[in-house]
Every structure is written in C-alpha cells, then in structure tokens.
Amino acid sequence: MTLTIVGSQLGDEGKGGIVDVYGSGADVVVRYQGGDNAGHTVVQDGQEYKLSLIPSGAVRGNVGVLGNGCVVNPRTLFDEISTLRERGLDPDVRVAERAHVILPYHRILDGIEEERKAEEDLSAGTTGRGIGPTYEDRAGRRGVRIGDLLDPGTLRARLEYAVPQKRALLEDVYGVPVEDHDDVDADAFDVDALHAEFSEYGERLAREGMPVNCGAFLAERRAAGDRLVFEGAQGTAIDLDHGIYPYVTSSNPTAGAAAVGTGLGPGVIGDGEVLGIVKAYLSRVGTGPLPTELGRVDGQTPAGGGRPDASDVAEYVREEGGEYGTVTGRPRRVGWLDVPMLRHAARASGFTGVAVNHIDVLAGLDQVKVGHAYELDGEELETMPTTTERWADCEATFRTFDGWPDVDWGAVAASGYDAIPENARAYLAYIAEEVGAPIYAVGVGPGREQTIVVEELL
Ligand code: IMP
C-alpha cells in the first residue's frame, strides 16, 4: 500500500500536518523531489521540530528516505540530524545515491541570479537554497551525486570539471570577482576546499549507513509488506511543468514525479492513493497574478490586481490564518479558493482523495466565496491556462457560500466529521465534487489532533 501526498496549490497547503497524521501509520516516508526549500513543523510530545529537508516521519520513528529526485545539501542534512539527536531522537534517514548534491556555489549563484532577475522584475522569489542551480547541473550532466561523495577520485573529477565553469559564470557573466566580494565565500569556488568538505560528508554518510539504491531499497521494503508514504514538497501551481512558469520551483511536486524520483514504477504510485492537499483559501508570497486575490499588498500585488474593496475580508483571513512571513513578518497575499487551480492539480496528479486544511480560518465570515471558473476573452475556463501571462488575464467568476460560525474546533475534531458546521460541510462537498475525489481528511487547526480523518488510508 502506498500513499502519495501532493500540494494542489502554491505550496503552503499544510502538507506537513497531513503527512504527519497519515505517516504515523507508515513504515517508510519518502521525499521524491525538492530539497531544503521545504519547511514543515512537526509537534511530537509537546516539542516542536522545524525541518526543511528530512522527511517529517523520521521524527516519529519511521524510516525517512530522500529519494533520487531530491537535491540534498549535506550541511542541512547533518545539521537537522544533529538537532534531532541533541533532543533525544534517533532518526533513521537514508539518502539515494542517485540524488544530487547542493554545493555552496549553487546557493551563491541562486542568490546572484535572483538579484539580477529582480532588476527586470522577473525574480521567482526563490528560497535561496540553490535548488534551481543544482537541478540545472543535473540536467546539464555536470552535477555531483551523493554516490560521488563516497568515492574521492570521482568527486575530484566532477569538481574539477564543474568548478571552473561556476567560477567563470560568477566572474565573467555576472561580473562578481570571487576573491574580493564580501558576500562570496571563496572556498565555494575552490576545488580542494570543496573536496575536503564534501568527501568528509561522504565518509560520514557511509559510516552511518545512509546511502541507498533508492528504488531497490523501497521495492524490498514494499515486498516485505511495509507501508510507504511519498511526501511531495511545494505544490502543483509551482511545479516546473504544470505551474506558473517561470515563477516555479525547479522540480515536479506532481504525483508522476514520485515514480521518477524514487525509482519505483508509475504503476506502484497509481495503484496506491494519491492525496491532494488543499488549503481552504489561497495565500501567496511575492509578485505575479492571483485572480482570486482579496485586498492587495503593496509591492507584491501587480498594478490593477487584487480587490481593494475586499480589504477587510483580506485582513480577517490574514489575521485568523497568521498569514505573515515567518522571517520578514511581511503580510502575505490572500485570496479565495481558486477552483480552476484545483481541477488542474487533480488531473495532473490523479487525486484519489483530498484533504482540506484551515476551514477554521474562514469561520466567522458572513459569506465565503470561491473562484469557480475564469472568464478569458469572453469564454468560460474551468482550468488554468497554460501560460502565466494568460492566467493574469483571467477574471475569476465567483460562487458564494453561507459562512459558518467559529466554534470550539478542538471539540469538533474530537467528535469527527459530522460535528463540522453544516455550511462548512457544504463547502467541503462542493470541493470534492469539483475535483472529482472524496474528502479524506479535514484540518480544523494547526495541531495533529485537529485533523479529522475521514478515511484511514494506511
Ligand atoms: P526555489 O524552490 O527555492 O527555487 O523557489 C522557487 C519558487 O518556489 C519561489 O517562488 C519559492 O517561494 C517557491 N517555493 C519553494 N519552496 C516552497 C515551499 O515549500 N512552499 C511554498 N513555496 C515554495
């Protein structure tokens, strides 16, 4: 039995909480794409753990695997493992030998390219973790893989090929001289320094028995009857192929990538459950279109975008949902649920069920709207257009639901689905109908206990 978990919107759907709930019934939790650009919080025995790379299941005693589709920064990996150990846990983490390694120069180049793009209003607002440059090197066949760290000769050969190119890119294309630039760590462009640091990571990985042939490892565990969860990071609308290109991440959060990114066949993923995670409204950091946006955030909402006449609703949702940047404290953009985005996500991944989070945040509003469709050039569209520029031209057409009261959500969670206020259940039934998949779980608060499980999957 397998369960693949996919974000259906812009990446902040609350996947971590759902992985946590279903992961407790799993033996192995596998990430199949992305790297330390993800962020999830796991609460275990009253303690909060913030992770960006290690699969959240590792906190709960599952085996956590970083699949070959991931990009792995060994510094982050060992930092997270050390933090967990200091707090008394003993995480069992395996890393695919075919996964690519994020090197220090990837992070530096990610930052510099974003700065340059910002000058042209093109920045994707990346997390600065070097994700894009590492995937570029993977596709360009000049990457370094986890398996290469285990073999000092191969590692040196890979670095000797790649590093001069990176240095030339920095100095000759971006005009940033390595040695006399304050923000640039010169060791990041030095083969010997990189070799010393990263071959040591290789030794440590080997010593701790972490490297695996991911597909073979998982196939064996599956044959032994283990239950596997494939944990997608980010979301469909920022998928490299199916998202709002070029404002996307450089991997595929959609379910197809769970096969490529683990080394198991698509039949394995398709035979299991594919659970789409939906946030009951939208939130977004950064610029770019958002057809169902409420209010506007200066500096982020494009000129003429948003709905200034609905800024009180925007404020309400932002406050109730805590929609402020965790680092910057800046308000996030918020919007009504975008149903064409959900239909697109459900098709791209083949959802067999959905989990809807944060319906408690919308409680207390008189009316709750959804962007049911778009109007584009006088035609009605039920799904997202293929280009971001055309998406910007879409006018959302809305449906209105009666609001639901703010109730004791802890008590609701303890009682189960039928205790959810009737109007909220009508909203959930509408979502299920539109995406063509039943509701498997509903999040009514941030904690694990506040997720109502309708369908036990594992
Ligand atoms: P990158 O993945 O760091 O290259 O960033 C590319 C885009 O994806 C940016 O718009 C990021 O804000 C967004 N992004 C990356 N990871 C996440 C995530 O876990 N949640 C939400 N957005 C993300």
Residue 39's pLDDT is: 83
Per-residue pLDDT band for 59 (boundaries 50, 70, 90) equals confident
Q: In this prediction, what percent of the chain has a pLDDT beyond 70?
A: 99
Say how many Å lie between the CA of residue 234 and the centre of ligand 1. Answer: 7
| Phi-psi label, residue 306: left if phi above 0, alpha if psi -120 to 50, beta otherwise | left
Residue 447's pLDDT is: 78
Q: Is 69's pLDDT higher than 80?
A: yes
314 neighbors 303 (Cβ within 8 angstroms): no
Burial track 246-284 (b if 16+ CB lie within 10 A, e otherwise): ebbbbbbbbbbbbbbbbbbeeebbbebbbbbbbbbbbbb
Residue 63's pLDDT is: 97
Q: At which residue do the structure tokens 């080997």 appear?
A: 206
Q: Is 326's pLDDT higher than 90?
A: no
DSSP string, 312-349: HHHHHHHHHHT-B-TTT-PBPEEE-EEHHHHHHHHHHH
Please count the other Cβ atoms lying within 10 Å of the Cβ belonging to residue 455.
14
SS3 category, 456? coil
CA-wise closest residue to 28 among 98, 90, 91, 73: 91
- The per-residue pLDDT for range 101-123, each reduced to its tens digit, is 999 999 999 999 999 988 887 78
Atom of ligand 1 at shortest distance to CA of 35?
2
Two tokens at 308? 């200034």
Testing ligand 1's pocket by substitution, the residue of 126, 134, 252, 330 carrying the most ligand atoms inside 8 A of its CB is 126
Helix (H) or strand (E) holding 432: helix 422-435
Residue 40's pLDDT is: 80
Atom of ligand 1 at shortest distance to CA of 233?
19
Mean pLDDT in residue range 192-204: 98
Say how many Å lie between the CA of residue 438 and the centre of ligand 1. Answer: 28
Calpha distance 111→172 (Å, rounded): 16
Atom of ligand 1 at shortest distance to CA of 129?
3
Per-residue pLDDT band for 400 (boundaries 50, 70, 90) equals very high
- The per-residue pLDDT for range 70-94, each reduced to its tens digit, is 999 999 999 999 999 999 999 999 9
Name the H helices within 141-247: 146-149, 152-168, 191-207, 214-223
Residue 46's pLDDT is: 77
Catalytically active residues, by annotation: 12, 40
Two tokens at 280? 């009951």
SS3 category, 381? strand
Atom of ligand 1 at shortest distance to CA of 248?
7
Residue 16's pLDDT is: 86
Calpha distance 427→260 (Å, rounded): 35
Q: Share the mean pLDDT of the chain.
A: 95
Q: Is 431's pLDDT higher than 90?
A: yes
Say how many Å lie between the CA of residue 289 and the centre of ligand 1. Answer: 16
Residue 413's pLDDT is: 97
CA-wise closest residue to 65 among 221, 243, 188, 242: 221
CA-wise closest residue to 113 among 187, 170, 74: 170
Q: In this prediction, what percent of the chain has a pLDDT beyond 90?
A: 84
Q: What is the DSSP letter of 244?
A: S
Domain 278-453 sits in CATH at 3.90.170.10
Which residues lie closer than 8 Å to 322 by C-beta, 6 or more apart?
Answer: none
Mean pLDDT in residue range 330-356: 97
Q: 101-205 has which fold?
A: Adenylosuccinate Synthetase, subunit A; domain 2 (1.10.300)
- The per-residue pLDDT for range 177-190, each reduced to its tens digit, is 888 667 778 899 99
- Verify cis geometry, omega within 30 degrees of 0, for the bond prior to 308: no
Calpha distance 1→274 (Å, rounded): 11
Q: How far does Cα 130 stand from its chain's mean position?
A: 15
The protein residue whose alpha carbon is closest to atom 20 in ligand 1 is 11
Testing ligand 1's pocket by substitution, the residue of 70, 108, 249 carrying the most ligand atoms inside 8 A of its CB is 249
Calpha distance 283→13 (Å, rounded): 9
212 neighbors 18 (Cβ within 8 angstroms): no
CA-wise closest residue to 64 among 27, 39, 36: 27
Mean pLDDT in residue range 161-179: 94
Give the residues surrounding ligand 1 with Cβ less than 6 Å away: 11-12, 37-39, 124-127, 129, 131-132, 233-234, 238, 247, 249-250, 285-286
Per-residue pLDDT band for 270 (boundaries 50, 70, 90) equals very high
Per-residue pLDDT band for 1 (boundaries 50, 70, 90) equals confident
Domain 2-97+209-275 sits in CATH at 3.40.440.10
Residue 402's pLDDT is: 98
Calpha distance 406→411 (Å, rounded): 12
Two tokens at 338? 């975008």
Atom of ligand 1 at shortest distance to CA of 285?
12
The protein residue whose alpha carbon is closest to atom 1 in ligand 1 is 126
Name the burial class of residue 237, with classes exposed (0-12), middle (13-18) and buried (19+) by CB atoms within 10 angstroms of its CB. buried
Calpha distance 251→69 (Å, rounded): 8
Q: Is 13's pLDDT higher than 80?
A: yes
pTM of the predicted structure, to 2 decimals: 0.96
Two tokens at 188? 């990041």
Say how many Å lie between the CA of residue 306 and the centre of ligand 1. Answer: 22
The protein residue whose alpha carbon is closest to atom 17 in ligand 1 is 234
Name the H helices within 170-211: 191-207
Say how many Å lie between the CA of residue 151 and the centre of ligand 1. Answer: 32
Per-residue pLDDT band for 2 (boundaries 50, 70, 90) equals very high
Calpha distance 342→285 (Å, rounded): 19
Residue 179's pLDDT is: 82
Say how many Å lie between the CA of residue 249 and the centre of ligand 1. Answer: 5
Residue 184's pLDDT is: 79
Question: So where are the chain's domains?
Answer: 2-97+209-275, 101-205, 278-453
